[in-house]
């Protein structure tokens, strides 16, 4: 599974300047504006209907969607599926390859440093954890922390 952070913008030029000040590098792509800190990839989307979230890419999501429908509403889209976790983080499940020309580095090179994974803040942490686990993520520590 490949992933990227999806963030909207109303000014692509300002967003690119912001990430470049943080020492992110632009990832060459014909159809999307992508930046990376060496590890994570961020898609900057100027579409006025774009919403912040996480895009996950996989050939098929059939098995996961069956489990997810027991936990939350899952919408079919032309690229795959769309859902949100209990804190309303949009999760785009894209069927097919991401075609991102990026090879992750061992350490991040931006001024933000390295990170250990996904951090959840939710009013319903048990449901959020269940949704992310249904997508194949694992917990490190306990949700009560």
pLDDT in tens, 96-135: 988 888 888 888 888 887 776 667 788 898 899 999 999 9
Q: What percent of the chain has pLDDT over 70?
A: 95
pLDDT in tens, 37-81: 988 899 999 999 999 999 999 999 999 999 999 999 999 999 999
Q: Give the CATH number of domain 2-97+107-134.
A: 3.10.180.10
Q: Would you say the C-alpha torsion 122, 85, 63, 67 has a positive or negative sign?
A: positive
Put simply, whether the predicted model's pTM sits higher than 0.95 gets the answer: no
Domain residue extents for the chain: 2-97+107-134
The pLDDT of residue 36: 94
Cα separation of 51 and 92, whole Å?
Answer: 10
Maximum CA extent, the chain = 43
């Amino acid at each position: 599974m490949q992933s990227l952070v999806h963030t909207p913008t109303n000014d692509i030029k300002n967003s690119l300047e912001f990430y470049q000040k943080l020492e992110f590098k632009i990832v060459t792509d014909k159809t999307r504006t992508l930046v990376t800190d060496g590890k994570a990839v961020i898609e900057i989307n100027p579409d006025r209907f774009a919403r912040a979230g996480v895009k996950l890419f996989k050939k098929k999501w059939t098995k996961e969607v069956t489990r997810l429908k027991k936990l939350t509403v899952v919408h079919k889209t032309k690229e795959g599926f769309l859902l949100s976790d209990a804190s309303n983080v949009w999760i785009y499940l894209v069927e097919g390859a991401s075609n991102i020309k990026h090879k992750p580095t061992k350490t991040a090179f931006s001024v933000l440093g390295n990170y250990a994974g996904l951090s959840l803040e939710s009013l319903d942490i048990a449901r959020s954890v269940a949704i992310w686990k249904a997508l194949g993520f694992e917990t490190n520590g306990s949700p009560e922390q």
